[in-house]
Amino acid sequence: MSGRITAVSKPPKLERKKRVAAYARVSSGKDAMLHSLSAQVSHYSDLIQRNSDWLYAGVYADEAKTGTKDSRADFQRLIADCHAGKIDMVITKSISRFARNTVTLLQTVRDFKAWEVDIFFEEQNIHTMSADGELMLTILASYAQEESRSASENQKWRIKRNFEEGMPWNGAMLGYRLKEGRYEIVPKEAALVRRIYNEYLAGDGYQAVAKRLTEEGVPSRFGGKWNQSVVSKILSNYTYTGNLLLQKTFRENHITKKTVINHGELPKYHAENTHEAIIDMKTFHAVQTEKARRAAQFNKKPAPRTTYPFTSLLVCDNCGKNYRRKTTKTGIVWVCGTFNTLGKSACASKQIPETTLQQVTAEVLGVKAFTREQLHSRIQSIRVCNGNILIFCFKDGSEVTRTWKDRSRSESWTDEMKEAARQKALERSKHNA
């Protein structure tokens, strides 16, 4: 008896929607509306989600000064997600938005092709996965790089002409506004500059001046925090004398746009009496002499630096400063450097008892007792976040998050404090008797 044989047809292959992401970038806040970051993000979000064959995989956006890979956080995130197989296609406006360096562009395109990720450049209408995609990209990217170089050279020529005519390049400075290419005094800000110079000559240091201005709620030039660096730059700014020293720095090249100090590679330009002075020359030189004297005095007696197990490892997640070790009445604690210097108004981070740090670290490392050797051999850094959260970043790239508990009042008392409290209680009982 023979059975009936029936051909089984292969089930139809279900088409998976293409996971599409977009990349947007602007090089400055002065770009036109169509090139603005917000406009690009809105455009691509709408474009991808309107296509029924596409699955929205996000928009990656950078506001960067250069077109290099290393300076763009979201571009690095895009590469990582493509490598992880989360994206099938990337849409971007043009080659120049993606990369201005031919080598960087081709390297990235080839990496994406190896991961089977297509890149579509709207302006050039190029798909990198097409047969002639890479050839066209090589030609167009070389053109974009040359265009960038030419624009950079033109910019350098304009800057040089302005320098030769004694015109400032940057108007961002406390005390002045730039009007028709020349510095004009802002009276209220100028008074603040004079105050900083006078307080320094009266004996205050950078830190003391910054702390006082912060406590008084005095606004800085751009609304940022007052700190030692800001005060030092104001006290070193030759422009306040009514003169200009131009081209003290310059950009290395048109690709990286890295700013370097001019040590004689290019000519410097000194222009006298170009604008109204805020600080007279005598006061300015007096401040520079005092700065040199204090620096020499400090360098004569360098204090030996004591390091502790957590030194340079604890980083405040609020302000980015390292935590410092501090001895208090209740014991040894670690406190954010900004909080310690400028107070709670500058950084609202919490101090952490050293014993708590050691206990939590031992638990994270899986050891019975805390040791400096284990800590330094395995931990890269520890981020201190709000809500009593510690993020341990290991040297192998992994992370572990832990929550620490505040000490109770009884735990924070030392033996000396307990004895002192006992003696006071005895005195009170004798007095009441």
pLDDT tens digits for range 123-181 = 888 888 876 766 666 665 565 556 555 555 555 545 555 544 445 556 668 888 888 77
Residue 292, both tokens: 């040199």
Burial class (CB in 10 A: 0-12, 13-18, 19+), 160: middle
Q: Where in the chain is the domain with CATH 3.90.1750.20?
A: 165-300
Q: Where in the chain is the domain with CATH 3.40.50.1390?
A: 18-147
pTM, two decimal places: 0.37
pLDDT band at residue 348 using 50, 70 and 90 as cut-offs = confident
pLDDT band at residue 343 using 50, 70 and 90 as cut-offs = confident
The predicted pLDDT at position 144 comes to 56
The predicted pLDDT at position 209 comes to 92
- Checking if the pLDDT of 31 tops 90, the result is no
pLDDT band at residue 197 using 50, 70 and 90 as cut-offs = very high
The tokens 């302005």 sit on which residue?
Answer: 162
Write down the CATH superfamily of domain 18-147.
Answer: Resolvase, N-terminal catalytic domain (3.40.50.1390)
Residue 186's CB: how many other CB atoms inside 10 A?
A: 17
**Three-class secondary structure of residue 334 per DSSP:** strand
pLDDT tens digit string along 66-125?
A: 545 556 788 889 999 999 999 999 999 887 777 766 667 777 888 888 899 999 988 888
Q: How far apart are CA 210 and CA 218, in angstroms?
A: 10
CATH says 165-300 is which class? alpha beta
Contacts of 242 by beta carbon, 8 Å cutoff, 6+ apart: 273, 274, 275, 276, 277, 278
Task: Work out the angle at residue 176's Cα, subtended by the Cα atoms of residues 174 and 182, and round it to the nearest 5 degrees.
Answer: 145
- The per-residue pLDDT of the chain, averaged, comes to 77
pLDDT band at residue 382 using 50, 70 and 90 as cut-offs = very high
